[in-house]
Structures are given as structure tokens and as C-alpha cells.
Structure 1
Amino acid sequence: MSETNTGKQEITDRIVSRILSASALDRIFIALAAVVLALLLGSIVVAATGNNPVMFVYALLYGAIGTTSNLSLTLQQATLLCLAGVAVAVSFKAGLFNIGVQGQFVLGGFATTIGILWLTPYVPSGVIGGILLVAFGTVAGILAGGMYAAIPGLMKAYADANEVITTIMLNFIATGVTFYLIDQHFKAANASATNTESIPAYAMLPSIVFGSPSFSVIGVLIALVAVISVHLIMNRTRFGYDLVTSGKQAPAAAFSGVNPKKNIVGTMVFSGMFAGLAGAVFVVMVLGYYSDPGTLPQIGFNAIAVSLLAANNPLAVVPAGLLFGGLEAGKQYIGYNLDIQRQLVDGIVGLIIVFVATPELFRMVTLWRNTRNNEVDK
């Protein structure tokens, strides 16, 4: 019996060791294999409901990359998910759980819209005015997201409040307060819905390549600059070193002189700034006004899965965001063109996400357990 247990333990140790030592290329192949396996299982479910599984898979792929319009939607979603995914990854790297990215995204977009509408009468129209308005609105969104994220950071640092609970609750507060402000103070004249006035057309990011009114390559460039900046900050600066060290070995970081309270607040603010930037890009690239935040896409929540799939690596957020963006575009295409229940499509897309994210989640949990075990041994 003991020999059997020893054999099982050896096999388990080999599997764990293989997972932990997997290279970036290995992990890409694992993710691709997980996608294929999930699509096969999803096809069986589709066939069991009396639908054509081949047509379903084709529609999912065609909806993501089949036309320039579909590809622009994939890139649009990927842009927003990359920015929000970086926000989640920053906090996770520091050992904090910023589940409030959605609320910071909402307030960032709202601040951008109001900032642009307020400044519009004071700047000239045209290209110059558009650049000034986009820059001002983007800064307003970044500041709003960072300041809102500072609230759970301060509560965690100075009152030891659980950031998971506080950030989740602040999501609802952001949605409710923003709805009230739009409905009571910033609602467009003669509007039947809860919408603000539209920002000027010259304050929208121009569509350069795809000709889509809701996507701009400039948005992609903003996301890439943000991703690279976070990567460099986390790997080449003192702030980034303190952030990552605190997430991996908090006692060691404190012993080396890191102020834990200051680090917690700084990390949450840094994370929230990118969530606010995602909200700003959403306004100046996609929406062009602001509406009931309850109807906005759940970018902040989806970004959690993006960050997990990317193992909280800022650079890996890009392919993870592309995958999730493609799934979202494919799902929308199926909803419009195939007679398949929305709940079934959502379930199969969720199945793909689970299959892809599980290996990385297992890897992260294993690393965390090994780190904790090493701390106990010492």
C-alpha cells in the first residue's frame, strides 16, 4: 500500500515539476490544445441539442476573423481587455485582489465623458481641438480610476479591510452613483434613455485602417504602450521591484525597507489607473457618449480571466486579450446569424475559457503553495 502511495506521489511530483518548468512555448501549446479540446466538447453539446456543430465552430471562427468588420470587433474587445487585464495583473502581482476593475472602468469612462464635454467650448474644433480633448479626457479617466482604487487600498492598508469584499462592493457603488449623476445632472436634452450628450466627433479616435466607427488602430497602440510600460516598470524600476517582492515574499520586502501600507495604496492606485484608461478608451473609441453603466460591457470582470490566463504577466495579457476578444466577437456573430440559444453559446464560450485558464490557474496555485511551504520550512 505504501509502495502504491509512493508511486502515486512520484507521478504527481513529476507532473507538478513539468507544469512549473513549462516554457512560454509549452504554455502556448497547452492553451491551444485546451481550446481544441473545449471546442470538441462544445461541439458534442451543440450536436446533442440538435444543432450543426460544424456550423457552430465555423461561425465562431468566422465571427472573430472572417471579415475586416469582424476582425475590428475582435481587436476592439481585445484592446479594452488588455488594458483592464493589465490593471488586474498589477494588483495580483503584488498579492492584492483588485476585483473592482469594473467600477474603476465605469468611473474612468464617466470622468472622460464629462471632462470632454466640459472642455469642448474652450478649445477649437478640428484636429487640434480633438487632440486636446482626447488628452484631457484620458487624463481625467486615468485619475478617476486611480483615485477610486485608492479607497480600497487605504481601507486595506490602515483598517485591514479585505480588498476582495471592498472592491466588489465599490463596483456597485460606482454603477449606482454614475447612474444617478447621469440621470439627474448630465442627461442629454430630450433623451428618452439615460445618456449624456455625445462628445464631438473630432474628439473620437479616428478609424485609420478598418473603416469601423467603433474601432481605431490608435486604441491598439495605446494598449500596447500601456502593456510595455507596465512590463518595464515592474521589471526595471524600484517601484516595480517592491510591488513584485511584496506579492511573493511580503516579510522579506518589509525587512528590506518596503513600507507595506504605502505599497498597498500605491499598487491599488497604479492598478486603478489602467482600469480608468480602459474606460477612457472605451468612450473615445467605441461609445462617443456615456449611458447607464448597468448596460455597459463587463470588461472589468472579464479582465480577471484574461489576467489569470496570462499568469499575471503584462506581456502575456496581449494574446490572452486577443483570445477573449475573438470569443466575444464570435459569440456576437452567432447570436445574430444562427438560431442557437444565447445561453448555450454563453455556456460553450465559458467552457472554452475554463479549459484554457485552468492549467495556468493550477500552475499559479502550485507556485503559491510551494512558496508558502518554503516559508514554513524556514
Structure 2
Amino acid sequence: MKHLFIFGTRPEAIKMAPLIKEFQKDDTQKVVVCVTGQHREMLDQVLSFFDIKPDYDLNLMSDNQTLYDVTAKALLGLKPILDKEKPNNIFVQGDTTTAFVGALAGFYEKINVSHIEAGLRSHNIYSPFPEEGNRKLVGHLANIHFAPTKRAVQNLKLEGITHNVQQVGNTVIDALLLGLDIIKNRGEATFEKYFENIDFSKRIILITGHRRESFGPPFESMCKAMKEIALKYSDVQLIYPMHMNPNIRDTVNSILKGIENVKLIEPLSYPYLIWLMSKSYFVLTDSGGIQEEAPTLGKPVLVMREVTERQEGVEAGTAKLVGSNFDNIVKECKRLLDNETYYQSMANAINPYGDGTTSLQILKLMKDNN
């Protein structure tokens, strides 16, 4: 059976990597990898780390690209690949524009589409944007739905999607465990040297924030809350790998630059990010994937968003929604820093997103249904 894996961003590459590696081990499965290059440098870093060599690269990223550009270029670029390869199945992952276009191209060619990480919903079409719209559209174009959790299965059911829905966990956990294993085997000296300016005797708060719906006053409020925590707790270091978007960097620098225990660093490649996460005390983020990854490492997550499509983590106690409100963020950070019992209740909560066997489950299900 021939599978075409289509992805274009770093998060997709991370979550596709363990699945691709698992399928490549099986002689009965033919793997073809196509990247759109929706992200470029960050995508290439992941491919190199996991040793994945694309068969096709649309390389469509351009300066100031719009959603229109990505959608049109990717759709036109996929047509000749589908004509040549004629895959039995297309794998798309998550909620990116690449995932939507991959599913749409498969639909146009009447090729089976399998959606990894199906069923996530925030129930607000514009938050996150355009991801919520993308995943809803993919859900109604796909033929097979690999849902990470019971809630994701229920979300699909509420939209009338009940056929070929499988609850399998999330491949992001597979990727995290595989990635940490690769790091361990290669040795950690490189990582220790890279972060030599960070004092790991202090409690580390890892920060990631980049979502476009937060730009402007909400993001300023988030940064002011970070400043408040940094000034109040001298025994804490806040580490912020800044996204390249100037909307992010300008605000971060204007509010946080020059504070002694705030380290503003360049974006981290995947292995450096997960290594730093493993050394952190807790995580302050608006990222989706980190809400799933950090609990596997026993790291509480404060989510700087008004809603999350990963509500299971909130219910399980591994994550807490704090939004962009200054007072909420400060209060919850203080609670984790001051209340050991509360901290341990989050750190020891069971991760609802899987145990690292998702890729194996998907391979088995695809073979059983072939």
C-alpha cells in the first residue's frame, strides 16, 4: 500500500516523523514524503533531526506570504505529484493550511485521506485562526479519522462524523519520546553548552507565545505579567525563545528586554526545545503541541489563550487556561511557584494524550483495514 505523507510546518513534521519512521520499517508499506515548505528553516531542522528525506519539496514559502498564496501554490503543486505517484492513501496532520490543501487535493482525486489528530475543536471558528476552520474542513473531507482522545471522537460525532473514527492518542508523544532518546544517544554536552548562560539552579519557566489572535493589547498584557513574575521572584529564570514575527519580537523586547532573570533567545530547533522543556519547572504558552508534550515530562502548563481545543489537559489537571489577562497569569504563576502541593498535583496528573504507541496503533489499523 502506498502512502503519501503531506506536511509543511514544523509542528506537522514533528507529529508526522514517528509515523513515517514506523511505516518505513514495514516492507508492506510504501512511503512517499511531500513537504510544501509552508515553513522553511524550522521544517528543515526537524527533517534533519529525525533523518527524514522528502521525495518532493514544493518549497512554496515566500516573504510576506498570505493564506491565499499558500493555498493556491500548494494545491497546484500537489496535482502533478498525485498524478505521478497515484497513492492509495494520503496522510495529513492537524490543522494547517497544508493539511487542508492536502485533504482537498485527495478529495479532488478521490484518494483516501487519513487525518492524524482529528477531532480537535475550540468551537470558535476564528480562534485559533485559521486552524479551527482548517481542521473542521479536513474533518469533512477525510475518510479515516485518527482522533487523539475520547473528546475528539465526541466532537466528530457531533458533526455527524462516525465512520472510520479511531481513538489512538497523539503522535506528538511518540515524537517527544523518540526525540529525547535520540538526544540521549548522541550525548547532552552540546545542549548543556548551548544553554551555558542559563542558571539551572534556579527554577526555569519556559515561555512560548506567537498566536496571531493575541497580537496587540492581549500580547502586551501577557508580557507585562511575565515581567511582574520576573521582578518578584529572583530565584526564577524566564526563558523566552522568541518567534521571528516582528509583531512578537517588538513587543517582547519593549517590555522584557534588560530584565536580569529574563533570557530572550532566538527560536529553538525541536531537539533544543524539548531538552529545555525537560529541564523546566513549568511552561507558560499559547502553543497547542506543548500542552500535550509537557505533561509527559511532568511539567505543568499555563495556557495563555481564552479557549483551547485541548480541553482534555485542563480536565485532567495537566494544564490550566489563564488567557491573556494580566491578573490571571500572575496569580497562577505565583500559585505554582509558592504552593508545592498544587504544583505536584499538576506535575503528577496523567497525560490524556497518549503513551507513545500512537504510530504503531495507526500502522496496525491501516494494515488491518487494507
Superposition TM-score tier, normalisation by shorter sequence: under 0.3
Structure with greater strand percent: 2
TM-score by length of 2: 0.25
Higher RCO (C-alpha under 8 Å, 6+ residues apart)? 1
TM-score for both structures, normalised by structure 1: 0.25
